[in-house]
Amino acid sequence: MAGKSASPGRRRKPRGQGGKSEPRNPGDKEILYGYHSVFEALKAGRRKFESIMVYENRSDKRLQAVADLAGEKQVAVQTLSGEELDRLAGFGRHQGIAARVSSFPVQSVSALLKLIEGRTEPFFILILESIEDPQNTGALIRTALCAGVDYIVMPKDRCALPSAGVSRSSAGAMEHAPIFLAINLSILIHDLKKYGAWVSGLDAGGDKGLFDADLTGNLALVVGGEHTGLRPGVIKACDFILSIPMETRITSLNASVAGGIAMFEARRQRLGINFG
């Protein structure tokens, strides 16, 4: 794939999807809960904190670390009873801490295209196509950051959008992730090709083995949904459909596991590591 490049002189201007891909009001509030989500959101500094609530009868080093950082950032910390925290967190596993914050700052596809246009180094984009389980979404986001993915794209519909649950599932990694929302993934894929990207879908029925593919250069990796995999229109738009070789009668993997394997194979190749 490294042989494919975008020539500025021949490049056609992609069809813009504009700023309409951000469906939420930036002023919307939500409740983050769990130590990692709250602490990482504080560190990332991308959300506006209204207040942090901690369990009144709990005192440990982690909660103190949050309180100390909140003090540095001039965020109010208050104590609540266990029952009050349970209700605030929707009875999720809050670990004695929750926070009232602004919604996660997703970006538009037009912003993504501007970013890759100005890059001199090869880019690596993860596209999550119809991943509906927040736990899978959170795991994929965390793995993407560990594997050197530059940008993460989600469709506006039919997916688990960035939320408190996804943040907790990612152990707070989502708070640092550059996430973009697309109205139409097929259009986005065609636009990315105009910037020199090779687009590889990941599907159990793929006709090319993951370990036989060249994942260097400008790469967009598309991971399909838990139940339906990649939709036909997305498969048609991809350059290649890759599959992970299996040794047993089980023919598919969990979406986050499969995506993790593919992302780290890409990282191995991009770092020039050879186990042979």
Residue 90, pLDDT above cutoff 50: yes
pLDDT digits (tens, 9 = 90+) for 64-82: 899 999 999 999 999 999 8
pLDDT, average across residues 116-135 = 94
Please classify residue 275 by burial: count the beta carbons closer than 10 Å to its beta carbon, then call 0-12 exposed, 13-18 middle and 19+ buried.
exposed
The whole-number pLDDT of residue 12 equals 39
Q: Which domains does the chain have, with CATH numbers?
A: 29-102 (3.30.1330.30), 107-270 (3.40.1280.10)
- What is the pLDDT confidence band of residue 5, given thresholds at 50, 70 and 90? very low
Stretch among 131-140, 141-150, 176-185, 222-231 having the lowest mean pLDDT: 222-231
- What is the pLDDT confidence band of residue 213, given thresholds at 50, 70 and 90? very high
The whole-number pLDDT of residue 276 equals 61
The pair of structure tokens assigned to 149 is 């993915």
Instruction: Give the mean pLDDT of the chain.
Output: 88
CA distance 10 to 49: 46
231: closest CA among 179, 138, 158?
A: 158
- Other C-beta atoms lying within 10 Å of the C-beta of residue 80: 17
- What is the pLDDT confidence band of residue 57, given thresholds at 50, 70 and 90? confident
CA distance 93 to 189: 37
DSSP state of 165: H
The pair of structure tokens assigned to 191 is 């636009």
The whole-number pLDDT of residue 272 equals 92
CA distance 96 to 69: 17
The pair of structure tokens assigned to 180 is 């973009």
The pair of structure tokens assigned to 96 is 């004695």
Of residues 59 and 215, more confidence is placed in 215
The partner residues of 102 in beta bridges, in order of sequence, read 29
Strand order through the sheet with 151-155: 107-108, 179-182, 151-155, 124-128, 219-223, 198-202, 240-243, 208-209
CA distance 148 to 197: 16
The total number of residues written for the chain in this structure: 276
Instruction: Report the relative pairing of strands 208-209 and 151-155 from DSSP bridges.
Output: unpaired
Share of the chain above pLDDT 90, in %: 71
Helix or strand holding residue 240 (H, E): strand 240-243
pLDDT, average across residues 234-262 = 90
- What is the pLDDT confidence band of residue 128, given thresholds at 50, 70 and 90? very high
E strand segments, 71-146: 77-80, 97-102, 107-108, 124-128
CB–CB of 206/258 below 8 Å? no
